[in-house]
Amino acid sequence: MAEAERIIGTPDTPDAAGDGQERPDAEQEQEQAPERPRGKRRVAVLFAVALFAYLLDLGSKMLVVAKLEHHEPIEIIGDWLRFAAIRNAGAAFGFGEAFTIIFTVIAAAVIVVIARLARKLHSLPWAIALGLLLGGALGNLTDRIFRAPGVFEGAVVDFIAPKHFAVFNLADSAIVCGGILIVILSFRGLDPDGTVHKD
Protein backbone atom coordinates (compact mmCIF):
# COMPACT_ATOMS: atom_id res chain seq x y z
CA MET A 1 0.00 0.00 0.00
CA ALA A 2 2.76 2.38 0.89
CA GLU A 3 4.48 1.50 -2.35
CA ALA A 4 1.32 2.29 -4.35
CA GLU A 5 0.91 5.65 -2.59
CA ARG A 6 4.54 6.50 -3.34
CA ILE A 7 4.14 5.70 -7.07
CA ILE A 8 0.84 7.57 -7.39
CA GLY A 9 2.01 10.53 -5.37
CA THR A 10 5.32 11.05 -7.13
CA PRO A 11 4.07 13.14 -10.13
CA ASP A 12 2.14 15.58 -7.95
CA THR A 13 4.45 15.71 -4.94
CA PRO A 14 8.12 16.07 -5.91
CA ASP A 15 9.22 15.34 -2.31
CA ALA A 16 6.96 12.31 -1.82
CA ALA A 17 9.94 9.97 -2.11
CA GLY A 18 11.72 11.52 0.82
CA ASP A 19 14.55 13.74 -0.23
CA GLY A 20 12.86 14.79 -3.51
CA GLN A 21 13.87 12.85 -6.62
CA GLU A 22 12.74 15.66 -8.90
CA ARG A 23 15.71 17.83 -8.01
CA PRO A 24 18.13 16.24 -10.49
CA ASP A 25 15.60 16.84 -13.29
CA ALA A 26 15.21 20.45 -12.20
CA GLU A 27 18.96 20.87 -12.13
CA GLN A 28 19.19 19.40 -15.63
CA GLU A 29 16.55 21.81 -16.88
CA GLN A 30 18.50 24.71 -15.41
CA GLU A 31 21.66 23.46 -17.11
CA GLN A 32 19.86 23.01 -20.42
CA ALA A 33 18.11 26.38 -20.32
CA PRO A 34 21.13 28.36 -21.58
CA GLU A 35 21.52 25.90 -24.49
CA ARG A 36 18.32 27.05 -26.19
CA PRO A 37 19.37 30.67 -26.76
CA ARG A 38 22.77 29.44 -27.91
CA GLY A 39 21.07 27.11 -30.40
CA LYS A 40 18.98 30.01 -31.67
CA ARG A 41 22.11 32.09 -32.13
CA ARG A 42 23.68 29.30 -34.19
CA VAL A 43 20.58 29.18 -36.39
CA ALA A 44 20.77 32.96 -36.77
CA VAL A 45 24.41 32.61 -37.87
CA LEU A 46 23.41 29.93 -40.40
CA PHE A 47 20.78 32.13 -42.02
CA ALA A 48 22.97 35.25 -41.85
CA VAL A 49 25.78 33.44 -43.69
CA ALA A 50 23.28 32.01 -46.18
CA LEU A 51 21.76 35.44 -46.83
CA PHE A 52 25.18 37.04 -47.28
CA ALA A 53 26.31 34.32 -49.72
CA TYR A 54 23.01 34.47 -51.60
CA LEU A 55 22.96 38.26 -51.98
CA LEU A 56 26.63 38.34 -53.00
CA ASP A 57 25.98 35.70 -55.65
CA LEU A 58 22.78 37.35 -56.87
CA GLY A 59 24.38 40.79 -57.07
CA SER A 60 27.41 39.50 -58.95
CA LYS A 61 25.22 37.68 -61.49
CA MET A 62 23.05 40.75 -62.07
CA LEU A 63 26.19 42.81 -62.66
CA VAL A 64 27.64 40.21 -65.01
CA VAL A 65 24.43 39.95 -67.06
CA ALA A 66 24.16 43.74 -67.31
CA LYS A 67 27.80 44.62 -68.00
CA LEU A 68 29.67 41.54 -69.21
CA GLU A 69 27.31 39.29 -71.14
CA HIS A 70 27.78 39.56 -74.92
CA HIS A 71 31.05 41.42 -74.33
CA GLU A 72 34.70 40.40 -74.45
CA PRO A 73 36.07 38.71 -71.30
CA ILE A 74 37.84 40.88 -68.76
CA GLU A 75 41.36 39.84 -67.82
CA ILE A 76 41.89 40.00 -64.06
CA ILE A 77 45.29 38.31 -63.75
CA GLY A 78 46.56 38.02 -67.30
CA ASP A 79 45.50 34.72 -68.88
CA TRP A 80 45.34 33.02 -65.48
CA LEU A 81 42.03 34.54 -64.36
CA ARG A 82 39.32 36.16 -66.44
CA PHE A 83 35.70 37.17 -66.05
CA ALA A 84 33.71 35.70 -68.94
CA ALA A 85 29.92 35.42 -68.84
CA ILE A 86 28.44 32.08 -69.88
CA ARG A 87 25.12 30.30 -69.30
CA ASN A 88 25.52 26.85 -67.72
CA ALA A 89 22.66 24.34 -67.87
CA GLY A 90 24.59 21.73 -65.87
CA ALA A 91 25.79 21.37 -62.31
CA ALA A 92 28.65 23.20 -60.64
CA PHE A 93 31.59 23.85 -62.95
CA GLY A 94 29.59 22.89 -66.03
CA PHE A 95 29.15 19.16 -65.44
CA GLY A 96 26.04 17.24 -66.54
CA GLU A 97 24.21 19.70 -68.78
CA ALA A 98 21.67 17.04 -69.75
CA PHE A 99 20.33 16.77 -66.18
CA THR A 100 19.21 20.31 -65.42
CA ILE A 101 15.88 19.32 -63.82
CA ILE A 102 17.58 16.67 -61.67
CA PHE A 103 20.08 19.22 -60.36
CA THR A 104 17.20 21.57 -59.62
CA VAL A 105 15.46 18.89 -57.54
CA ILE A 106 18.71 18.07 -55.73
CA ALA A 107 19.28 21.74 -54.87
CA ALA A 108 15.73 22.02 -53.51
CA ALA A 109 16.22 18.84 -51.45
CA VAL A 110 19.48 20.20 -49.99
CA ILE A 111 17.68 23.36 -48.88
CA VAL A 112 14.93 21.32 -47.17
CA VAL A 113 17.45 19.08 -45.39
CA ILE A 114 19.45 22.07 -44.12
CA ALA A 115 16.29 23.78 -42.88
CA ARG A 116 15.29 20.64 -40.94
CA LEU A 117 18.80 20.17 -39.55
CA ALA A 118 18.87 23.76 -38.30
CA ARG A 119 16.46 22.85 -35.48
CA LYS A 120 19.16 20.77 -33.77
CA LEU A 121 22.09 23.02 -34.59
CA HIS A 122 24.40 23.98 -31.69
CA SER A 123 27.79 24.22 -33.44
CA LEU A 124 29.12 27.51 -34.83
CA PRO A 125 31.42 25.90 -37.45
CA TRP A 126 28.52 23.75 -38.66
CA ALA A 127 26.31 26.85 -38.80
CA ILE A 128 28.84 28.55 -41.08
CA ALA A 129 29.28 25.46 -43.27
CA LEU A 130 25.54 24.88 -43.66
CA GLY A 131 25.01 28.58 -44.26
CA LEU A 132 27.46 28.50 -47.16
CA LEU A 133 25.74 25.44 -48.60
CA LEU A 134 22.31 26.99 -48.20
CA GLY A 135 23.29 30.33 -49.73
CA GLY A 136 25.00 28.65 -52.68
CA ALA A 137 22.11 26.27 -53.30
CA LEU A 138 19.61 29.13 -53.18
CA GLY A 139 21.75 31.20 -55.54
CA ASN A 140 21.87 28.55 -58.26
CA LEU A 141 18.27 27.46 -57.63
CA THR A 142 17.14 31.04 -58.29
CA ASP A 143 18.75 30.85 -61.72
CA ARG A 144 17.15 27.44 -62.37
CA ILE A 145 13.70 28.86 -61.65
CA PHE A 146 13.79 32.35 -63.13
CA ARG A 147 16.24 32.30 -66.04
CA ALA A 148 15.79 31.06 -69.62
CA PRO A 149 14.94 28.68 -71.15
CA GLY A 150 12.22 28.00 -68.56
CA VAL A 151 11.16 27.25 -65.02
CA PHE A 152 13.31 24.53 -63.39
CA GLU A 153 15.38 24.38 -66.59
CA GLY A 154 17.08 27.75 -66.37
CA ALA A 155 20.78 28.11 -67.13
CA VAL A 156 23.01 29.34 -64.30
CA VAL A 157 25.17 32.41 -64.88
CA ASP A 158 28.87 31.58 -64.54
CA PHE A 159 31.67 34.09 -64.97
CA ILE A 160 34.82 33.22 -62.97
CA ALA A 161 37.17 31.62 -65.51
CA PRO A 162 40.57 30.43 -64.23
CA LYS A 163 43.02 29.14 -66.83
CA HIS A 164 42.67 25.39 -67.56
CA PHE A 165 39.62 25.11 -65.29
CA ALA A 166 35.84 25.20 -65.59
CA VAL A 167 33.95 28.49 -65.38
CA PHE A 168 31.99 28.92 -62.14
CA ASN A 169 30.26 31.50 -59.95
CA LEU A 170 30.17 32.60 -56.31
CA ALA A 171 27.37 30.17 -55.47
CA ASP A 172 29.54 27.27 -56.64
CA SER A 173 32.38 28.64 -54.51
CA ALA A 174 30.14 28.83 -51.44
CA ILE A 175 28.94 25.25 -51.96
CA VAL A 176 32.48 23.91 -52.35
CA CYS A 177 33.78 25.84 -49.31
CA GLY A 178 30.83 24.66 -47.21
CA GLY A 179 31.37 21.08 -48.34
CA ILE A 180 35.09 21.18 -47.52
CA LEU A 181 34.33 22.60 -44.08
CA ILE A 182 31.79 19.83 -43.42
CA VAL A 183 34.36 17.18 -44.37
CA ILE A 184 36.89 18.74 -41.97
CA LEU A 185 34.35 18.91 -39.15
CA SER A 186 33.33 15.30 -39.75
CA PHE A 187 36.94 14.11 -39.64
CA ARG A 188 37.41 15.99 -36.37
CA GLY A 189 34.33 14.28 -34.93
CA LEU A 190 32.25 17.42 -34.41
CA ASP A 191 28.51 16.91 -34.90
CA PRO A 192 25.97 19.64 -35.77
CA ASP A 193 24.47 19.41 -32.28
CA GLY A 194 27.82 20.42 -30.78
CA THR A 195 28.84 17.00 -29.46
CA VAL A 196 32.27 15.56 -30.22
CA HIS A 197 32.78 11.87 -30.86
CA LYS A 198 35.90 9.82 -31.48
CA ASP A 199 35.89 6.65 -33.54
Sheet holding 74-77, edge to edge: 74-77, 81-88, 156-162
Contact 157, 143 (CB under 8 A): yes
Contact 47, 41 (CB under 8 A): no
Q: Pick the catalytic residue from 19, 57, 172, 199.
A: 172
Calculated CA dihedral for residues 135, 139, 144, 149, nearest 10 degrees: 180
Residues 6+ apart with CB under 8 A from 59: none
Coil, strand or helix: which one is 83? strand
158: annotated active-site residue = yes
Which stretches does DSSP call E strand in 28-127?
A: 74-77, 81-88
Contact 142, 53 (CB under 8 A): no
193: annotated active-site residue = no
Q: At what angle do helices 124-146 and 100-117 cross, to 10 degrees?
A: 150
Q: Pick the catalytic residue from 158, 191, 193, 199.
A: 158
Q: Which sequence positions are flagged as catalytic?
A: 158, 172
